[in-house]
Amino acid sequence: MIKKSFLLFLLIFVNIFSSNISHSPEDIEIEKLKQEIKLLQNKIKKLENKKIEKFKEEEKQPKIGLVLSGGGAKGFAHIGVLKVLEANNIKVDYITGTSMGALIGALYSAGYTPNQIEKLVLDINWQETFNDSPNITDISIDQRSMMKNYNLSLKYDNSLNFALPKGIRNTQKIYLTLKNLLWNVEQTRDFKKLPIPLEIIATDLNTGKAKAFNSGDLAQVITASISIPTIFDPVKIGDNYYVDGLLSRNFPVEDAFNLGADIVIGVDVGTSLQKKEDYDILSVADQIVAIQSTSSTKKQRDLATILIDPDISNFKTTDFSNFKEIEALGEAAAKKQLQKILAFGPKPNKRKSSLQYKNNFVLENIDVITETKNNNHKEIIESLFKDSIGTNINPDTLEKLMLKTYSLNFVNKIYYSFKNNTLKLQVEENPTNIVGLGVDYQTDYGTTFSIGTDISSFGKIGSLSTIEATFGDYLGLDLKNFSYYGVSNKVGILSSISYEENPFFIYHNKNKIGSYKSQVTKLEGAFVTQYSNLFLFSYGASLNYASLDPEIKNIFDSSIQYSKSYGDIFFNINWDKTNSIAFPTKGFKGEVSQRWGGNLGKDNLNFLSTNYLSSNYLPITETTSLTAKFFGGNIAGDDILPDKYIKLGGLSDDLSHNTFAFSGYYFQEKYLSSLFGVSLGIQQKLIENLYIGANWDFATYKFANEVFNDDKNSLLWKDYSQGAGITLSYLSLIGPVKFNISKAQESHDFLFQFSFGYKFD
């Protein structure tokens, strides 16, 4: 009994004690956590099961490859196709492309939406991008002032090895445009790691075989893929040169399958062979492209699961202005094949743009690699970037720096990449010497031909030498050397010896009554300073032996012919920030020249002359510019040589010969001792390189005190003239062409004038 009571007491005690322990705060919290863990484990198990089911579903989903062929401007149809795919939420897993297809495909692969690609294509100035000449404003002003503008030219090195061009156009601006557009994937060297895996086709110029690129500098690879042989330079990647992929595989369907695609949607916009009654240069180019690409395209078309074939046969590869029409045809062709695509059961996948803001990076180091390992060239390039070291660089700033580098005479192409804040520049170099042939014709002046060479040695200590011979209606020979120190800011010595002939005409009541030939042999030296690549100051002296001989004597007076020696000292300022040598549409340029001279013999010859010219171009639309020119001068002294007076009339200005253009006047129609003039106008670009302009000219003047002048008693601000003209201008492959119709206020007749080529001084 006692034993039973003891056992009962023990059980009650244990139960009470156990109950007190299990309900402690710590145990309650532990129990709660255990329950939460159990719930989480159940949730994880459900998610894992869901993931497995989703993976199984995805395994059943076909991988879609999109193939975009080359075709120049016809490739705009690809954007229409992409719009249809996006509108129907059809996910693209792989992209392969050639030429324009490579460009459109790369933009889509990098994260651009079709609408964004459309805007980019519309915003790009295709003509300017394909033109690819260095920006004239980036070229140093001393080069622009001294180097000649030849109609035809070749470069050569110091061993007289001539460098024939590899194509009509370079591809530098195309490359830089693509680098800017693809900035967000700049660090992605493996194309399979792009938002959509990508492969691009180019042609190995050595073997003629297709090369499928899936890594490297994306912009450089695209540039290679669009480089039509002879039109564009081939692109060197590694040790090989590559050109347009259309030559080897314009429609890379097999490459999409190789990437892993189950079905392939192929968009073929390549040029097909067509029988024509007649050809022009553009249709011949299209037919050549078709011949090259047709052989491989048929096999690839047969491989495509779904073929989209836009009806673009009425368009050429060069129809870049027909973007909307071509895009619409691509969209229509894609809609026709939409049900076939959906029949394969692609899972809807709404795609959003994966582009991010173009981040800056801090530039800490520059690594310049040049082909010739010329330290002078390397030093010049590094100097262009020195002010940017330690600063934040964005793609636009970097593009401007690259264009400045491209403007250097020894740079053919420049490629870049950056890693860990170090910018690596890979430079392909040009020979720096030039030999050229030029021709110039101006109404009344006549025709001259020129052959010459520019010999350059670039470096912080460098030199530029020119030798030029002129023949035709007038002869000339010019030997010049400029030795300098500096890059953007320069100081140097200019020396020259020259012989030149020029016409000297005498007019009376708009009738030519005398024709003379001026001949000058000159020895000149000057100290030259270039400031910030904008201003060029020169101050020096010259010794001259000059003569003026009659060809048709002035019927009023024959005493103006002379043969004299004289010297002068001079001061010149030049500035130039215009965007074109021939027909500027933006910027400003000008010159001020002052000379003091006197005889070296017994006569009383002495003179002081000042001339100035300022031309300004203000764009008001993309194709329209306002122009304003201010010009004038004054000459005073004793026994002034007749042909040294200010001359007014003709189509072009030439301060070195005291000549100013004026509407309605023949070349050198008026001879003046004082002049102030204004020319206001408007210039409209009709099509690429073709312009039409209208101008109104006003000038007040004082005639030179010579017997052959109409009014020797004229006064500045009392006597004046007005004229107006219309000019049609065209920049051809071999030089500028101008046709002008003008009329002066005091004349009843219209004056027709024509010029071709660059004026050689």
CB 637 within 8 A of CB 555: no
Q: Is 244 a catalytic residue?
A: yes
Q: Are 180 and 172 in contact (CB under 8 A)?
A: no
Contact 450, 470 (CB under 8 A): yes
Contact predicate 486/460, CB 8 Å: yes
Give yes or no for a contact between 710 and 703, defined as CB atoms under 8 angstroms apart. yes
Marked catalytic residue, from 69, 93, 99, 255: 99
Q: Is 599 helix (H, G, I), strand (E, B) or coil?
A: strand
Characterize 9-35 residue by residue with b for buried, 16 or more Cβ atoms within 10 angstroms of its Cβ, and e for exposed: eeeeeeeeeeeeeeeeeeeeeeeeeee
Q: Contact at 8 Å (CB) between 175 and 232?
A: no
Q: Which of 541, 564, 708, 542 is nearest to 639 (CA)?
A: 564
Integer angstrom CA distances of residue 299 from 254, 294, 304? 9, 9, 9
381 alpha-carbon distance from chain centroid:
19
**Closest by alpha carbon to 353, among 112, 181, 186?**
112
Q: Is the CB of residue 421 less than 8 Å from the CB of residue 365? A: yes
How far is C-alpha 504 from the geometric centre of its chain's CA atoms?
41
User: If you count them, how many residues does the chain have?
Assistant: 761
Say which of 132, 142, 204, 244 is annotated catalytic.
244
Name the strands in the sheet holding 365-370, side by side, starting at the edge strand that comes first in the sequence: 365-370, 422-429, 411-419
- Find the farthest-apart pair of alpha carbons in the chain and give their distance in angstroms, rounded: 167
Write out the two tokens for 692.
């039409």
Q: Which residues pair with 435 in a beta bridge?
A: 154, 453
Contacts (Cβ under 8 Å, ≥6 apart) of 559? none
User: DSSP secondary structure string, 630-646?
Assistant: EEEEEEEEES--GGGSE
- Asked if 663 and 743 touch (Cβ cutoff 8 Å), the reply is yes
Which residues have a catalytic role annotated?
99, 244
